[in-house]
Structure 1
Amino acid sequence: MANTPYPESYYAASANAVPPRPALQDDVETDVCVIGAGYTGLSSALFLLESFR
């Protein structure tokens, strides 16, 4: 297995590498910003999406 910070698991063995993304060059204005994609972040994003359509 590759040298990763993840313990040995199916996810670590099958996950694709995340391509590098450039840093933001300008300010971004938004009403909401969800940080993270764990259970809480995904639940919050889904709630906001469904509530404010």
Structure 2
Amino acid sequence: MLDAGENVKAVSEYMGHADPGMTLRVYAHLMADSRERARRAVDGLFQRAPDGDHGP
């Protein structure tokens, strides 16, 4: 579920874990490397920003 994009809080609740940190400690090693997905997300943010708008 985490690798599919579900947020860790929802997965934690579904699994009955006391907190999201426990979920990550137990299952993070099973998650595929997400560097490429993160890079695409950041690239997408910069591509949508209007010229001259660099945030607050």
**Is the TM value for this pair above 0.5?**
no
The two structures have a TM-score, normalised by structure 2, of: 0.30
- Higher RCO structure (Cα 8 Å, ≥6 apart): 2
Higher helix share: 2
